[in-house]
Amino acid sequence: MGHFRKEADIEVAVATERFAVADIYSQFITGESDATGTIVMHHGRVKYPGKVLADFRVVSLDALVDDVCEGLRTIAIDASWKFILHRIYILHRLGEVERGGDVLMVICSAATRGDAFKACTWIVDEVKKEQLIALRELA
């Protein structure tokens, strides 16, 4: 008899305004069962000084594809096959974001910390390849 693995529960979104990190995380954990041993969250922010312009005013996060959510969902599905996860949440900001502003939120839950940490890292690395969203620093 083969081993059956359930695909992770996936939620993805984009935002054009600030988002409430603590509220999103709080809502995420209320959906967890007692089978979850670890929840890992990445909270990406605009850091200063910039990589291209040391002194910039804002960054512009521009969609490179027609449906960013579908691209984020594809990344999440790939992660659910690479790692044994319960749930995945990805939220990415679009538009102009100030220094210190929230850009990316990734939350992964799993039975074990190894899968949760590896999956969260892998998802962030995939998103940062800038195949879905380009980041430009503006003076």
pLDDT score, position 5:
52
CATH number, domain containing residue 17? 3.90.1170.40
Range of the domain at 62: 9-138
Residue 133 resides in a domain: yes
For 138, the token pair is 């503006």
Q: Position 99: which residue type?
A: R
Does some domain include residue 3?
no
Residue 127's closest CA among 52, 76, 58?
76
Residue 128 lies in a domain: yes
**Residue 35 forms part of a structural domain:** yes
Q: Does the CA dihedral 123-103-9-31 come out positive or negative?
A: positive
pLDDT in tens, the chain (139 residues): 444 456 689 999 999 999 999 999 999 999 999 999 999 999 999 999 999 998 999 999 999 999 999 999 999 999 999 999 999 999 999 999 999 999 999 999 999 999 999 999 999 999 999 999 999 999 9
- Sheet containing 133-138: give its strands across: 95-98, 58-63, 133-138
Q: What CA–CA distance (Å, rounded) separates 109 from 89?
A: 9
DSSP string, 51-103: SS-SS-SEEEEEESSS-HHHHHHHHHHHHHHHS--SEEEEEEE-EEEETT-EE
Domain membership of residue 2 (yes or no) is no
In a domain, 75, yes or no: yes
Partnered with residue 97 across adjacent β-strands are 59
pLDDT for 7 equals 65
Write out pLDDT tens, residues 49-85: 999 998 999 999 999 999 999 999 999 999 999 999 9
Residue 1 counted as domain residue: no
Identify which of 43, 29, 60, 59 has the alpha carbon closest to the alpha carbon of residue 104. 43
Is 106 part of a structural domain of the chain? yes
Please give the tally of structural domains in the chain: 1
| H or E stretch at 121 | helix 113-127
User: Which phi and psi angles does 37 have, rounded to 5°?
Assistant: -100, -25
